[in-house]
Chains A and B, each alone.
Chain A
């Protein structure tokens, strides 16, 4: 995947936020940047981060695999995350998840055949007072029910 000069410039700007000689601090934001461009963390994205920061690709890969938000496989246009941590689960989050799972025919971390939607369980999203909580591309939906979640997902399709 070829990266535009514009994206490289954005990466340089991110690196400039950190003190001289501490450019490695830019790694997480840069991984977000290449992931938003490619849909997941690709070998090319890893190579770009490594080259610009001046560390090895293995070092970049070791970091990217530690964090849940960096995806290793192509993700659908929409990432639907349902919180199933205890509070959301008790308030109906697991039922929401199960409903979507059945409707979409995919389970955790899987993408529908048309490449549109990736479904995942999420851990507590720090919005427990609105439980159960769901996000679509990290936009929050509060107090979802199986029906309201289905409606949201249908509208995405």
Chain B
């Protein structure tokens, strides 16, 4: 049933990063400037770079790319006075299934990202920044390039930024369709003109990043938040979120809801509240399973709809906050099939560097196909869990770890669904010869 959200829940909508999305043409620099644009930069350059880093630490701001690493701490890792060039790389490769917050941000408010980049570069003393945009997002790259040109024309970029004696150049760099290039070290290899395969960490990019120089890599949302935090203050940012999770977050709702889209709220809102904001479940659908942060985060069930959506609470509930990509599935959707389709994705996107991931995902797609075509055995369930054991913690990068999430969580909550296929109570979804979605 569609119903208007209650006043109490409506008041939880907290547009900060999304505030300008509704203003017409806010992507133009003149409009942006009228809406407080570049005021944070003018304020920031009044302080010493070290003070900006300390301020970001104090704000409790954490990375929005999925792992939630403290932003100020990452900036503080950059060695100063080391004689090496420093770089800022913005991760705009957004590829995690379910995740769809960075592209609309770059389309609607590109200058907030550019302004955040300038402040971040000022703080860590970087003279060059790259934005690595996923290749398919041609529209977003175009809009960012345009924003860079506008900012350059106004003296926010280029030589002697705002007459403050520092230079900054921002380059928009398009990828070419590889999910793994969102992993920060694979991204660096790709940006250096190689196949995008992860590097061993440590050393972390903070000391050995782009061209083996100190490099900050942050997600689009992490950096676009910076001007808001600088203007509003550390205490304000903390007050918007919950303990250990400062600020607002863009929650992306997709799937079986009335009004899918981006809902920005303070950290710690619950799925039930978000569903209310989104007009409820779609007609004829009842919530059955969902992801809190994209396909790499273990799925949860209707029982978890009141868990606060912040890092610690979601971890306690057995999942990961990730990219706050809430994919909502109903009683008409099959968790076995959903997991299968994600594993097809991971198998396709595995870079092939390490055996557990390259082989494990390949075998899991076969096992899923067998189960979904009605020829599965009880042993297959053990095979899946075995494969996950070999992946989790044994893969070279987070892609392999992430792949296990849907398998183990769907087996934990929905084993009966698997058994129904295996024991013939459920009509096969796949034709044995069918290679649905495989490529």
Contacts and interface: CB of A to CB of B under 8 A. Distances in A.
A67 B197 CA distance: 11
A89 B430 CA distance: 14
Interface string B90-122: 000011111110110000000000000000000
A91 B255 contact: yes
Contacts of B156: none
Interface stretch (B1-9, B134-142, B366-374, B382-390): B134-142
B193 A53 contact: yes
A130 interface: yes
B94 A129 contact: no
B10 interface: no
Given A17-B171, A121-B437, A121-B439, A126 B195 contact: no
A29 B193 CA distance: 9
Interface stretch (B303-311, B341-349, B392-400): B341-349
Interface string B192-217: 11111000000000000001000000
Contacts of A147: none
Interface string A1-29: 00000000000000001110010111111
B192 A25 contact: yes
A123 B179 contact: yes
Interface string A89-132: 11100100000000000001100000000001111111111110
Contacts of A125: 136
Contacts of B211: 19, 22
Interface in B155-180: 171, 173-179
Contacts of A31: 176
A90 B179 CA distance: 21
Contact of A66 (B128, B139, B195, B262): B195
B85 interface: yes
Contacts of B329: 90
Q: Interface size class for chain A?
A: 35 or more
Given A127-B103, A128-B254, A32 B176 contact: yes
Give the most central of A18, A90, A129, A130: most B CB within 10 Å: A129
B113 to A, nearest CB: 15
Contacts of A121: 437, 439
A84 interface: yes
Give the most central of A109, A126, A127: most B CB within 10 Å: A126
A57 B427 CA distance: 51
Q: Interface size class for chain B?
A: 35 or more
B439 to A, nearest CB: 5
Nearest to A18: B171
Given A127-B100, A128-B254, A28 B134 contact: no
Nearest to B194: A63
Given A63-B195, A87-B255, A124 B345 contact: yes
Nearest to A127: B100
Contacts of A91: 255
Contacts of B255: 87, 90-91, 128, 131
Contacts of A70: 176-177
B193 A87 contact: no
A22 B212 CA distance: 12
B183 to A, nearest CB: 14
A89 B195 CA distance: 29
Nearest to A62: B195
B191 A87 contact: no
Interface in B265-293: none
Give the most central of B176, B191, B193: most A CB within 10 Å: B193
A124 B439 contact: no
A24 B134 contact: no
B295 interface: yes
22 contacts: A19-B85, A22-B192, A25-B173, A28-B176, A32-B174, A53-B193, A63-B195, A67-B175, A69-B135, A69-B177, A86-B295, A86-B342, A87-B327, A90-B329, A120-B439, A124-B295, A126-B94, A126-B103, A126-B137, A128-B97, A129-B252, A131-B255
Interface of A: 17-19, 22, 24-29, 31-32, 53, 62-63, 66-70, 81, 84-87, 89-91, 94, 108-109, 120-131, 135, 138-140
Closest 6 CB pairs of A and B: A67-B176, A24-B193, A68-B177, A27-B193, A69-B177, A128-B254
Interface of B: 85, 94-100, 102-103, 128, 134-139, 171, 173-179, 190-196, 211, 252-255, 260-262, 295, 325, 327, 329, 333, 338, 341-342, 345, 348-349, 351, 436-437, 439
